[in-house]
Structure 1
C-alpha cells in the first residue's frame, strides 16, 4: 500500500476517504443510484473522468460505491488503485450480463464463481500456464445465502469476460457447451487483481438480455431497476 500515491491519476480521493469495502458498477450513474438509495450520509470522493464515487454508511457500516467503466482495462485500473493505494480489502461488482443458457432469464442473478476470458490480461503475470480467476468463497457463500433468504432466482457458476461487445464470431455455442452461464466484460480482471493484491472480490450480475432468445432491457432499466443484485451486495458489507 502506497499512501503517498493518493490521489491517483484516476481517483481524486485522499487516503482514508474510501472504505475498506467498495461496491462497484460499470455505469457511474448506477453508483450514484446506490449512494442515493442505500447509503446514509454519502459523501462524493471522486469525479475524475466522471467516474463517480461516494462513501457513506449502510446499517452502521462504512462502505463506498464507485463506477469502474466498461471493459477489463478500465476496471483493471480502478481496482488496482483501490487495492494498492487506498487500503481497500473487498470489491464487489454489480453489473449486467447477457445469458447464454436457456434456463437463465432476464432479471435473474448470476453469482460469478469463476471467470473465463478471451482477454490477454493475465499475460502480464508471465505465468507458466493458464490462470483461473475465481471469487472469494466466503463472498460467494454469503451471496447465495442472501438470494435464498430473499427468494431471488440465481445461479452460481462461470461467466465469460469478453474483450469484444460487437463480436464478428462470438462462438457462443462453444462456451455454452462448457456450461458458461453468461457473458460480460470485467470480472476476470477484477478477480486477477484481487488475487495479485491479496484482496477479496465477487461479481453479482443481473441478466439484462438473452443472447440466444433475444430478450432485452432498456438502458434506463439497467441503470435504476436492477436492485436485487444491490440488495445482495450490501448484505455482504
Structure 2
C-alpha cells in the first residue's frame, strides 16, 4: 500500500513518512509526559522528553511502519515504582500513547472531511486513482493514510498482551499481586509479535477487527 505510493508519488510519500514518524514520536512523548506528571522523571533525565526523532525511532519498527503501516518506536524508560498514585499513574501512562494516536486519527479525519467538502474533485482523483491534483490531492492522501494508520496503531496497542500498551492497562485494573506475572510475559514479546503477524497475514480475529474499524472510520469521514 505505502510502497506503491512511494513509486507513484515520491513527494507525497516523503510528506506522509514525516507525518508517521512524528506520530511515533508523539506516542512515546505521551507516555513520557504522563509518567512525569505522575512523579517519574526517568524519561526526562535520560533525554527522552524531546521531539528529536533520533532519540525515539527503532529502525525495524520505523521500516515496518512505512512499508506495512504498523510499527513501533523505542519505548520511553519508565520506573513504575515512582508513579503516585501507582494504579492511576500506571493507567494514565499506559493509555497516553493510545490517546495520542486516536487524537491524531481524529485530526486527520477532520482534515479529510474538510477536503471532501471544499475540494471534492481533488479528493476523488486522489482516492480513486491515486492521482494528486495540486496541494489538495497531496493533503488528501497524507490525511487518508495518516488517519487510518494512527487508528490502527491505537487499536493495535490496545491488545492486552505484553509488551503492548494494553497489557499495562490491564495491569492497572487487576490486583497488584498479579503484576509480577504479567511483567514476566515480556520475555515472550517476540512470540507475541509473530502470532500477531500470522493473524494479520491469515486475516484472523485481530485483522478483521482492524478492517472493521478502518471501514467504520472511512464511512464516518467520507460518507
Q: TM-score, normalized by length of structure 1?
A: 0.25
Bigger fraction of residues in strand = 1
Higher Cα radius of gyration? 2
Does 1 or 2 have the higher relative contact order (CA < 8 Å, sep 6+)?
A: 1
Q: TM-score, normalized by length of structure 2?
A: 0.27
